[in-house]
Amino acid sequence: MAACAARRVLAVGSRWWSRSLTGPRWPRPLCAAAGTGAFSPAATTTTRRHLSSRNRPEGKVLETVGVFEVPKQNGKYETGQLFLHSVFGYRGVVLFPWQARLYDRDVASAAPEKAENPAGHGSKEVKGKTHTYYQVLIDARDCPHISQRSQTEAVTFLANHDDSRALYAIPGLDYVSHEDILPYTSTDQVPIQHELFERFLLYDQTKAPPFVARETLRAWQEKNHPWLELSDVHRETTENIRVTVIPFYMGMREAQNSHVYWWRYCIRLENLDSDVVQLRERHWRIFSLSGTLETVRGRGVVGREPVLSKEQPAFQYSSHVSLQASSGHMWGTFRFERPDGSHFDVRIPPFSLESNKDEKTPPSGLHW
């Protein structure tokens, strides 16, 4: 049993982890309450503090699961890198990186705004910057503790049969931005519990990190590349609520003698302020290259009306859209409510829906 310092506890979802405010920062033992998704980097100072019952999950004992490393300011993390997600707090492992184009409207050049058009709502010129994301596996032990803040079956594919709306998901597969990675090391040869971990990665103590890609991972990445690829990321902040959108093309299906093109989009909502707000409504505008403009309004998102607070500042979800054209655009707003009952609208950055010109048949399952 390891005694872990609890000087500063950061609530992330239904979990927590802490950093000591004094003493050396790196390396530092990473402790976990097994079965709870609760984590704490232990202090490396000579004075150790036991967690109080207020911070420790009831009836759980902390066990060391690894040692934190210094986060990389430059360069990329390698395949096999273990990490703790800085926002949602789950344990994971890096499979491979993606180089995306980040279109951040918060740092866009101060160009005159244009009138509303099918590509967006009063949009301005935004230049993309290269940004690193990672394809990762989520530890299955942590999925129950993040399911209210982030979907763990968000990476979906079109099923390969006549039902054009049939989807399937790969549980515990995610995309993580470079700055969300808190790297750590472990002496455990199977530190992440996921059915694909040992299929994709091989333990090699001579390497750093000591998990290297198997041929099955390289083959799976190559065969499924068109349906996994992360290429564009869109971000915008309104009244301290940051919205990040990542669209993915899923493929085309024939339905009733017409072509139907499918995309999924992942959205993260982050409260950058200390004030509590709650998402109440969504308002989408969907423009298709065929010339149609659709308006969609509704309560919440994916059946939820999440509360964003200082303790739980983020919510992430995925959804889908289909068009009878090979491309289109989406934009809109989320309506939030303050504790005093007042409302305000948060812009969803406009993003394009593009199909692959050299399209092949989407996967019908895990391709090895």
Ordered by where they begin, the domains of the chain are 67-108+128-354 (2.60.40.1470)
**Is it the case that residue 60 has pLDDT exceeding 70?**
no
Per-residue pLDDT reduced to its tens digit, 70-110: 999 989 999 999 999 999 999 999 999 999 999 999 986 44
Mean pLDDT, residues 209-219 = 96
Q: What percent of the chain has pLDDT over 70?
A: 74
Amino acid at 127: K
**pLDDT for 227:** 83
Q: What is the pTM of this model?
A: 0.81
Mean pLDDT, residues 150-155 = 82
User: CA-CA distance, 20 to 6, in Å (whole number)?
Assistant: 7
**Is it the case that residue 116 has pLDDT exceeding 50?**
no
Per-residue pLDDT reduced to its tens digit, 2-52: 334 333 332 333 344 443 333 345 566 776 654 455 566 554 333 333 333
**Is it the case that residue 291 has pLDDT exceeding 70?**
yes
User: CA-CA distance, 201 to 189, in Å (whole number)?
Assistant: 10
- Among candidates 190, 195, 188, which has minimal Cα distance to 140? 195
**pLDDT for 128:** 87
Q: Which residue has the higher pLDDT, 64 or 161?
A: 64
Mean pLDDT comparison of 27-41, 51-65, 216-230, highest-scoring range:
216-230
**pLDDT for 182:** 96
Confidence of residue 257 (pLDDT cuts 50, 70, 90): confident
Mean pLDDT, residues 51-79 = 73
Q: What are phi and psi of 253, to 5 degrees?
A: -130, 150
103: exposed, middle or buried (Cβ count in 10 Å: 0-12, 13-18, 19+): buried
Mean pLDDT, residues 234-258 = 92
Average pLDDT of the residues of the chain:
81
**pLDDT for 40:** 60
**Is it the case that residue 290 has pLDDT exceeding 80?**
yes
- Rounded to a whole number of angstroms, the CA Rg of the chain reads 22
Amino acid at 302: V
What lies within 8 Å, CB to CB, of 337 at 6+ separation is 277, 278, 280, 343
**Is it the case that residue 146 has pLDDT exceeding 50?**
yes
Q: What would you measure as the largest C-alpha separation in the chain, in angstroms?
A: 72
**pLDDT for 295:** 96
Mean pLDDT, residues 254-283 = 93
Mean pLDDT, residues 115-133 = 68
Structure tokens at 166: 């049939």
